[in-house]
Structure 1
Amino acid sequence: MRVFLSYSHRDSEFVDRLAADLKAAGVPIWRDQTDIPHDIAANTVGWRRAVNRALGECTHMIVVLSPDSVKSAEVEAEWSYFIRQGRPVYPVLYRDCKVPYRLAVLEMYDLRGDRYEAGLKRLLVLLPREQTPEQSPEPRPAAPLHLPEAAQGEEARVYSPHGTESEAEAGAVTAPHSPLYGVKPEMTSTPPARPGGETLRRPPLRPEPSPQHRWLERAIGIVVMLIVLVGAVGVAVLSGVLGGEGGPTPEAGPVEVTSVEVVSVEATDSPTPTVTPTLTPLPPSPTAAVTSEPTADPVALAYTLARAGVSSNDGWTPFIQEFEGVPMALVPAGCFQMGSANEESNEQPVHEVCFEEPFWIDVYEVTNARYGSAGCEEYSSEDDQPRNCVNWFEAVAHCESRGARLPTEAEWEYAARGPDGLLYPWGDEFVALNAVYGDDSGGRPAVVGSRPGGVSWVGALDMSGNLWEWVSSIYAFYPYDPDDGREADGESDS
């Protein structure tokens, strides 16, 4: 296995450094300027044939992004071919530029300036290595909180660009017949006014340790979210986890994992505390006996509390409900501090994001059984393992087949951290037993929910470690603004 380097020759000085560091780490690479003999490279036809041969033989690709490379027809042809072939492509940001949409949906690796070392460390986790007898695996840090954006995601419940890591494990699903299918939940970058004039209290701002220590760097999947609003109509938002490309282990080849999340919300001004679910009918009210007091609906009561909002993680008691056999956790309205105040400048500035309506998210990552097939079977073949080895488009298609959409980067991060802005779903201190990361599961995704100590404040599992999860958000700099084009439903020109 070799890694194809796609870049503009105007960026050769940077690529010299990158290629040297990759080779030093044992990554087998192919680069036209060093791997094509000079007599062949001097001939355009010979050069093209050599490049075409390498494109057919290489298994991974790194695309160096700069204003010059994004304008290069040759570079675009190279990464487009890899994407069509379903092979892993890793965009590396070298200089600020307008990222093509099909690359913006992939996990981005920022190697600009002083972010080079941290970005390279993340990238190396995913790349194949030349095996040597004395080679031993290095401990891997936990992956960043929001996945790409997968973001922000590798995530569905993942940090990952429009295209939620967050490892497409999470997604939001609404019934296809719902009149509000595809409607985004209301969110603002400043505290929104509540119906009664009250503003949600802003949680305290705290500096955060580097996001590198949060999540497994190697996997991305899909998570399912469900949003049910109290009123005349209930809307379900389902999030699931799909995996894409992941890193290799000395015993096995590269692990491919990617994630996705889907969300759909239905708002209503009706004060009537009733719920009409769109996925699975709620148990009918008892009719055998007539009482003077109406029977309380636990889902309606929970939703009423969730809609009132919370200002701290402790202010919410997890509420789990099954929809079509899938356990989902209710996420209450509220605000949180999105981003990181430490080291990761692409997650700055820290800023407040608020949600005026509750939503639901899958308790578990989407499994092979739920998805209907396994992904990279050598890494995840059991029914109760999370579905991996899918790209963002496949994750979106899966969610749409369920009448759903992916959650945004902000929705996923809020469900993972809460108003307290925790560093990990369970707190601010890393606990190895609470997450699947590095090689502690044999270089393979673990059975979903196998780390109960890692449960988030709303009752969702595996939001740190196991697989990254895709989100709907296109990779873009902070502050997060849902109206700046990053939530363009595939029509973004970024």
Structure 2
Amino acid sequence: MTRRIILILGLVLAICATASQGEWKMRIHKGGNIDEHLCADIDSVTFIDVFAPPPMVTVPAGVFIMGDGVASCGVDEHEVTLTRDFYLGQHEVTNQEYLEAVQWAYDHGYVTATTSSVQDSLDGRTEELLDLDDPEGDCEIQFDGAGSFYLRESPSSFAQDAYPSGYNPADHPVKEVTWYGSVRYCDWLSLQAGLPRAYEHSGDWSCNGGDPYGAQGYRLPTDAEWEYAAQWDDERVYPWGDEAPDCSRANFSSCVGWTSPVGSYPEAPEALGLSDMAGNVWEWCNDWHTCNLGTSPESDPAGPTAGSSRVLRGGSFYHYYYDLRCAYRSLYAPSYSHYHFGFRCARSH
């Protein structure tokens, strides 16, 4: 639970009262500015624990060819221009990062939770964000029913076979998270940072009124941003280059059998310092999915304005080598969750 430490300044005020020269003041330094407050005017000070946003890297604006002529739903090739730099999560959001955020959200009344599910509660919404009691016990985040979230090793056969001696789930990517749970995490980051929320939690949950590139808050990467970052910046087939996948480059198929801690593989693309752009867990993207993107040039594409499924990228520990191609595009309904679905955050520069 988020811990609030309230310091009643009785001792300070007692010292102020016995000071021989005038009244004491408190100086607060922030961003080069100094604010002064009379001690006698302060009743209490509240320190609130907050959660840290995941580390992010800058991806410069540029032009690339989206699609590679081979990958599923990536056969169409067309020129795409991204007109502005953007930040992208250095790694997939971890169990620990999501746990700290959902605890904060629960403490602030932004979600409701039972031992089986976490649901949205902003803007009158009730969509499931995190499935805590899937039949195989895949989710490593749990809720005790009394107000606190905690981590546990997954009891699933996949996890136990992969780590028979046990493992620490903290740095493994969060899983069993729906698309709604992914964008809601982004909104929690925005709320904590004092930024406008990127997503509307009514209607079609559009990002910044259909203009994700203009959003001030945290969000999911667009379909185009994700592929652009993954193939940076030489139209490579896989995030590490054109060499065929093997278990030293990514966690896929039968390499591990379960997720790996984020950052376990060589950073790829190396120039950006991103990790796990291929394998580990599929990553939700902002866009509605359509398979045929066409061949006409586009600038800052936001994808279809409506649909039934959202884009997933990057493959997973459970899937095969051909899913790891930078241009491979998968899809699922935004309400669906799975043990190999996760995400990473983005934000416009």
TM normalised by structure 1 equals: 0.32
Relative to its length, the structure with more strand (as a share) is: 2
TM normalised by structure 2 equals: 0.44
